[in-house]
A and B are shown apart, each in its own frame.
Chain A
Amino acid sequence: MLENILPENISKIINNKINYKVINEIRIRADKPIVININGQAYFLSENGLSSNLNNAIKATKIMVEDIIFRASECSLYSVNEQIKQGFLVTKGGIRIGIGGSVIEDNKTIKTMNNFTSVNIRIPHHIKNCSLSAFNSIVNENKVQNTLIISPPGCGKTTFLRDFICQLSERNIALNILVLDERGELDIGSTIGNFSDKICFARKKVGFENGIRTLSPNIIVTDELNELEDIEAILYAVNCGVNLLASTHADSIETFLKKESFNKVIKEKIFKRYVVLSSRNGPGTYEGIYNENFSRLH
């Protein structure tokens, strides 16, 4: 898939000299060296593969950045403008490309982005069994407890959710799962199991309401709860009797407790389990599993 997005020379080096499976991110910034992140470690891309020497690094250009975005949109930027407005776009196969550039606003609403200057290509991975350590704490007698995955960006929240859905499917736990994939990165091709329905690119509020009404899920899985509107959506789901598996950004349980938008959720003990991940020993490192009272279970 990367070869459809990246310039030919860059794609060749990555294919021939770097193990694609270990790459987490490729950062391409106009007039700056191309940086590849592997297990939280940054390397420069050189003609000979990875390098720590800045002098050997291949420099990106603005045209390169614009071309990557154009190709990732399948030569149809207008068709992905709603994503671009939010600063990203997702290609086939769930590769999410974060975009840096100028935001064009009109009457305080974002119309589009242009003058692209950088892209952050995040390579999705399906790491089998990465959610196993927390599985038994979350699933009890075939019932999934409301769970929130907490971690800083790039520490494996989405990979955890993806694997968790697969684990449910593999165990034939026939609960109807609604995957609300706001950014199109949860499903990277047959990774959402046999009992899952998917709603893509919808805001949580809209996705939750429509999904519960039409697809009657037992569980909703969604990524990156942030705004108050998201919290309203999860409260709505819980009041409808639907269980939740979701994620949010925070670097520890203490930081999470300071997030004002989650006050009501914490007070009402909506989530019964909190799984904290970090990249201390590589993305997906377990920092702890907590119950609704924030007592550590593991």
Chain B
Amino acid sequence: MIKWLIMIILFFLCILIGYYFSQRYVNRLKFFKSLILLCQNLDIEINYSRERLKKLINNYDEKTKKNLLGIDQEFLKYLDNPKELKKEELFKNAGILKKEEQDLIFLFFKNLGRSDVENQTKELKNFIAKFEEIKIKAENENKKYGSLSLKLGLIIGLFILVILI
């Protein structure tokens, strides 16, 4: 009886690990999609309403903000007290991002609000193009490895079951 219980637990544990890894790919994709949407929204608002960054980010769609891994909240904290934007604080909850991705996103937030409308718009468009490239990569990774992780978890779980039986 205990043997069966352990087998079932191990099986589900393998599936859970597989699911966890597949979710990382899904969340990365969601993150870049939301980041691009945020940039596009900033582009429009900076050109038309010219509101301050704090208000623009605060008023931005809550659903989309949820996918930003807390980066928006950390940036808002910085806007409240703009001393020095720190990378480790900005990416506190964004471990799923690769180092080079973090560098690019950090550069984006560091330069945000530091130029006039024309240059800010150019910069935003430039960053959107770069984020789009990463989004396509994240999409391919998700297709490739996302479902693979889940399947691998299932197969390893079944394999353990077979061995133990």
Interface residues in chain A, defined as those with a beta carbon under 8 Å from any beta carbon in chain B? 8, 67, 70-71, 73-79, 81, 84, 111-112, 114
Contact = CB atoms under 8 A, between A and B. Distances in A.
Contacts of A67: 82
Interface residues of B, number: 18
13 contacts: A8-B83, A74-B54, A75-B54, A75-B79, A76-B51, A76-B54, A76-B113, A77-B120, A78-B46, A78-B117, A79-B50, A79-B52, A114-B115
Interface in B95-129: 112-120
B113 A78 contact: yes
B116 A112 contact: yes
A70 B51 CA distance: 15
Q: Is the interface of B mostly helix, strand, loop or mixed?
A: loop
Contacts of A73: 113
Nearest to B53: A76
Given A8-B83, A75-B82, A81 B116 contact: yes
A114 B117 CA distance: 13
Contact of A75 (B46, B50, B113): B113
A262 to B, nearest CB: 35
A70 B120 contact: no
Contact of A78 (B79, B82, B115): B115
B53 A75 contact: yes
A74 B116 contact: no
B116 A111 contact: yes
B83 A74 contact: no
A111 B112 CA distance: 19
Contacts of B79: 74-75
A153 B89 CA distance: 45
Q: Is the interface of A mostly helix, strand, loop or mixed?
A: helix
Interface of B: 46, 50-54, 79, 82-83, 112-120
A76 B116 contact: no
Nearest to B112: A75
Given A71-B82, A75-B54, 16 more contacts: A70-B113, A75-B52, A75-B79, A76-B52, A76-B54, A77-B114, A77-B116, A77-B120, A78-B46, A78-B116, A79-B50, A79-B51, A81-B116, A81-B117, A111-B116, A114-B115
Contact of B116 (A70, A75, A84): A84
Given A8-B83, A71-B82, A77 B118 contact: no
A163 B35 CA distance: 49
A77 B119 CA distance: 11
A76 B119 CA distance: 12
B89 to A, nearest CB: 16
Contacts of B52: 74-76, 79
Contacts of B120: 77-78
Contacts of B51: 76, 79
Interface centre among A8, A71, A78, A111 (most CB of B within 10 A): A78
A274 to B, nearest CB: 39
Contacts of B46: 78
B146 to A, nearest CB: 37
Contact of B82 (A70, A79, A81): A70
Which 8 pairs across A and B sit closest by C-beta, in order of nearness?
A112-B116, A76-B52, A81-B116, A75-B113, A78-B117, A76-B113, A74-B52, A78-B120
Contacts of A79: 50-52
Nearest to B118: A111
A78 B54 contact: no
Contacts of B82: 67, 70-71, 75
A75 B84 CA distance: 12
Contacts of B117: 78, 81
B139 to A, nearest CB: 31
A77 B51 CA distance: 10
Interface centre among A74, A112, A114 (most CB of B within 10 A): A74
A74 B53 contact: yes
B147 to A, nearest CB: 42
B114 A70 contact: yes
A62 to B, nearest CB: 14
